[in-house]
Amino acid sequence: MIPPLFRYERAGSVEQALSLLAEHGDEAKVLAGGHSLLPMMKLRLANPAVLVDIGRIADLRQIRLDGDQVVIGALCTHAQIASSAVIGEHLPLLARAAGMIGDPQVRHRGTIGGSLVHADPKADHPLAALASGATIVVQGSQARREIPSDEFFLGYFTTAVEPDELLVEVRFPSAAGLGWGYEKLVARSNDWAVVGVATVGGRIALAAMGDRPLRARGAEEALAAGLGIQAAADRAAEDTEPNVDISGDVEYRSHIARVLTRRALAAATGSG
């Protein structure tokens, strides 16, 4: 399979990328690692007339500490995140999530920014960002916006990023020293989650339990009320609309969400 015809444009800077996006509007798609977009194009699920390759913008490849926040550039690869000492210390949940994506070759190319804007409700980075209370920073030609992860994912493969904006970095509050849990059930090696659960700092997020990554607010409430892990886990599937496909129906995914939430909370509290 070869992608459908498109025009390849390379941006050497964020400014150049924004100007190409302004020029081509919603005819254009941003190419980072290409590990979601190119497969979608091969399958004719995406058919942009122009690809704006931002892959060489070195400024977007940095990981740095800014006070009590870890700032991760949009082009940081899953491999880079999984092996970063800074992330290992401050965001171990994210390191785990990034290290579970695909396989080594995929992790060498796929980027955190690409994964977040792709917004697959079964994917690892959206789940980890939501559980961690990350803030997604997007740059437009006029303004820079900081979007809380709770407001970023709007539905299947849909985010709050406008066609003329570029995701430039993701800011995570340091979770150094906090207990955390990350559980993912897959049907086969390398696959997306049947259900995923991530928890840190009292937040609990779910993958594949709706059209976007979701907070398990009922479970969070139970946990905050001191009702214990089992009581919290029992409420994990409340107010969800699980994906229904060959990997599971509503009942099965709801059950798995409760089981994985219990395990994730046990890991986070050291009682597993």
Partner 1 sequence: MINVSITVNGVARTEEVADRQLLVHFLRDTCGLRATKVGCDSTSCGACTVLLDGVSVKSCTVLAAQADGSAVTTVEGLAGADDELHPVQAAFHREHGLQCGFCTPGMVMATVGLLNENPNPTEAEVRTALEGNYCRCTGYHNIVRAVLAASEGSVA
Which stretch, 100-108, 135-143, 213-221, 260-268, contacts partner 1 (CB under 8 A)?
A: 100-108
Q: Does 143 bind partner 1 (CB under 8 A)?
A: no
The Cα 79–Cα 98 span in angstroms is 7
User: Strand 50-53 vs strand 28-31: parallel, antiparallel, or unpaired?
Assistant: parallel
- For residue 170, the minimal CB distance to partner 1 (Å) is 22
79's tokens: 């491999």
Stretch that binds partner 1, among 103-111, 119-127, 201-209, 223-231 (CB under 8 A): 103-111
**Cα dihedral 149, 90, 64, 124 in deg (nearest 10):** -40
Which residue of 14, 19, 89, 108 would you call a contact of partner 1, by CB under 8 A?
Answer: 108
Q: Tell me if 186 contacts partner 1 by CB under 8 A.
A: no
Question: How many residues form the binding site for partner 1 (CB under 8 A)?
Answer: 27
- Nearest approach, Cβ of residue 1 and partner 1 (Å): 5
Note whether 54 and 13 are within 8 A (CB): no
Main-chain dihedrals φ then ψ at residue 114, nearest 5 degrees: -60, -40
The single-letter DSSP state of residue 193 is: P
By CB under 8 A, the residues from 21 to 60 that bind partner 1 are: 31, 34-35, 38-39, 42, 51, 53, 55
**12 contributes a contact to partner 1 by CB under 8 A:** no
CB 87 within 8 A of CB 78: no
Q: How far is the CB of 188 from partner 1 (least distance, A)?
A: 10
User: Rounded distance, CA 183 to CA 64, Å?
Assistant: 27
Q: Is 104 in the site for partner 1 (CB under 8 A)?
A: yes
Does 5 contact partner 1 by CB under 8 A?
yes
Residues 6+ apart with CB under 8 A from 268: 178, 179, 180, 181, 199, 200
Which residues in this chain contact partner 1 in the complex, by CB under 8 A?
1-8, 10, 31, 34-35, 38-39, 42, 51, 53, 55, 102-106, 108-109, 189-190
